[in-house]
Structure 1
Amino acid sequence: MLTESFLDYLRFERNYSDKTIVEYGRDIAQFRNFLQEGGSEEFVPADVTAEMIREWIISLMDGGCAASSVNRKLSSLRSFYKYLLKRGEVAKDPLRKITGPKKKKPLPAFVKENEMDRLLDETDFGEGFVGCRDRLIIETFYATGVRLSELIGLNDGDVDMSSSQLKVTGKRNKQRLIPFGDELKQTMLEYVNIRNEQTPRTSDAFFVKEDGGRLYKSLVYNIVKRNLSKVVTQKKRGPHVLRHTFATTMLNHEAELGAVKELLGHSSLATTEIYTHTTFEELKKVYKQAHPRA
């Protein structure tokens, strides 16, 4: 039988592992069973059409099979038909124009508003320069949505207190202006006063270490992770989570999608749209908790 000769080819000529060969055989057998359940008396590879394969994909997805598993099964079938073409057993490959299902992208992790309120309003960040700086770092990420590299790259000249805006240099050296509110402005003024009193001016950086040097990524990452751990238990607790939190909060409060795109510095609206899925998922949770017939 063709299936057995294909599996022998994998074992003796391609040196595939026994486990892989078993999986290939199982996938092909599953496809053969699907065709027979649909009315085919026997499995004739040359008679298989692209439509049959698409129907199989749909049945797998309807049965709860993950996109990654479906694509693996399709890979087994593709290898089988390449082998049959090479041997002249079939004249064409029915999978030539078949595209597998796309993997579902995980939704971006974010912190809920009440958790951010608890962190900024009730948490003790410590006294002096370090405590003031660490609080400002958290507040800046949350209030502006800047990237980690953008925050580290801020210089004093990029922070315009009179106009309440940041000049940020993002990916591909593209610059954008981000407004900020009075609360963040007040924290910034307090930080600058303490910084200028307690640290030497060894760089133009806005955010600095105790020796006056510019911050580095791992230091900021640990500052954010340590402080977010005080209010959340989720696995992801880095600076990018606060960027996600900014975007999600803005959309939850009815900000226009295009405006959020510009604030985040996204080149495509499609990148920003993933946050609409996040807000909808949160909306579904609220609905299920609140509606008596949910």
Structure 2
Amino acid sequence: MIESFLDYLSLEKKYSVHTITAYKNDLISFRDFLSSEFNQESLVDVHYNQIRSWIVSLVDAKISNRTINRKVSSLKSFYKFLQKTEQIIINPLSKHKALKVSKKVQVPFTSKEINLVINSISEESNFIALRNKLIVEIFYSTGIRRTELINIKETEISLYNGTIKVLGKRNKERFVPLLESIVPTLKEYISLRKKISKNSDFLFITEKGNKIYETLVYRIINSYFSKVSSKVKKSPHILRHSFATHLLNEGADLNSVKELLGHSSLASTQVYTHNSLDAIKKVYNQAHPRSSKKNNL
């Protein structure tokens, strides 16, 4: 039953391997709980009070509300699948309300911090430094996700059109603009890259010619930005966050940013708007006839 659900997520929903693994682990966790606490193997005849007991056990284990909500969401999707395939009539989680979570404000890097990093890497001239500089520049100039960057192939970059073809979530393709300012770095990197590997299709590779991987990309970003920023989070996602926030601060419309980020709905993009409030307030205070700043001019 679980395997059928996972096949559905893979083949019909086009979820990534990482996401499917998370769903699988959540379902197995709940199944093991049913077995140990209720001596029950079936996932079909489940009542909400059993699910609630599982949630309580997760809370007692000091698991965060955010993680618990994700696990319960996996379970809810599973039972929706069972409804769809007519294996159950009522979803036991149909009336469940998610646990409250505190909204974490993601603080973007400043333009100054990003420029400091790019300039510091520019002082080095080896393959690794050039690759890392290009990684930072592409993250900040396109706003793509870490997995999207890792999977870029050299053939998906068009210098003629000034675009990069990106394979996003659920295998959705999109084209993102390539800034002219990073083309020299890109050309220089590709030239050095060919001396290291002629076999790999992927743009970003290690010194041994292998495709780069997620933890390496995280370490690269964290290492460089730790030298210039005191922010708590220093990750590829914060660079994506900075890209969106800086565009909005400079007047880009929300729909354009949504398309660039590869979001399926505006709701996902709107999480970045709170960071542009300072810029909006500044414009407001300078423009409104009743503003004290306006009157003092």
Q: Specify the TM-score bucket, using the shorter chain as the normaliser.
A: 0.5 to 0.7
Residue type of the partner of 2:241? H
Q: 1:248, 1:275 within 8 Å by CA — same for their partners in 2?
A: yes
CA distance in 1, matches of 2:283, 2:110: 13
Q: Is the 8 A contact 2:121 2:133 kept in 1?
A: no
Query: Partner of 1:207: helix, strand, or coil?
Result: coil
The answer to whether the 8 Å contact 2:122/2:133 transfers is no
How far off is 1:107 after superposition?
2.2
In 2, the alpha carbon distance for the partners of 1:127 and 1:286 equals: 42
Could you tell me how far 1:168 is from its partner in structure 2? 0.2
Quote the residue 1:245 is aligned against: 242
Match of 2:165 among 164, 167, 170: 167
Q: 1:196 aligns with which of 194, 197, 209?
A: 194
Distance 1:242 1:187, change over 3 A: same
The one-letter code sitting in structure 2 at the alignment partner of 1:170 is: G
CA deviation map 1:187-227 (0-9, x unaligned):
11111011112x02231001111111110110111011111
Change (3 A) 1:238 1:286: farther
State the secondary structure of the residue aligned to 1:178. strand
The residue number in structure 1 matching 2:226 is 229
| CA distance 1:271–1:194, shift in 2 (3 Å) | same
- TM-score, structure 1 as length reference: 0.60
User: Which whole-Å CA distance do the structure 2 matches of 1:285 and 1:230 have between them?
Assistant: 30
Match of 2:185 among 184, 187, 191: 187
- When residues 125 and 131 of structure 1 are mapped into structure 2, their CA distance, relative to the original with a 3 A threshold, is farther
* DSSP-derived class of the 1:168 partner: strand
Partner of residue 219 from structure 1, selected from 216, 221, 234: 216
Aligned residues between the structures: 197
Change (3 A) 1:282 1:255: closer
- Within the candidate set 121, 130, 133, 2:131 is matched to 133
Which portions of structure 1, spanning 4 or more consecutive aligned residues, are displaced by more than 4 angstroms? 99-104, 122-125, 281-288
Q: What is the SS of the residue equivalent to 1:203?
A: coil
Q: How does 1:1-294 map to 2 (within 5 A)?
A: 103-124=101-122, 126-197=124-195, 199-281=196-278
Structure 2 unaligned regions, length at least 5: 1-65, 67-94, 286-291
- Deviation of 1:255 (Å): 0.6
> Any idea what SS the aligned residue of 2:119 has?
helix
Q: Which has the larger radius of gyration?
A: 1
Q: TM-score, normalised by structure 2?
A: 0.60
SS at match of 2:176: strand
CA distance in 2, matches of 1:171, 1:123: 30
Distance 2:120 2:177 in 1: 25
Is the alpha carbon distance of 1:128 and 1:243 closer, same or farther for their aligned partners in structure 2, counting shifts above 3 Å? Answer: same
* CA distance 1:100–1:146, shift in 2 (3 Å): closer
Structure 2 counterpart SS, 1:177:
strand
Aligned-residue offset at 1:228: 0.9
Contact in 2 for aligned 1:145/1:242 (Cα 8 Å): yes
Q: Which amino acid counterpart does residue 125 of structure 2 have in structure 1? A: E
CA distance 1:101–1:196, change in 2 (3 Å):
closer
Report if the CA contact (8 A) 1:125-1:132 is conserved.
no
Q: Work out whether residues 221 and 239 of structure 1, in 8 Å CA contact, stay in contact via their aligned partners in 2.
A: yes
SS state at 1:237 partner: coil
RMSD: 3.1
1:244-281 deviation digits (Å, cap 9, x = unpaired): 01001111111111000000000110111111111115
Q: 1:276 to 1:210 in 2, by over 3 A?
A: same
- Identity, in percent, stands at 39
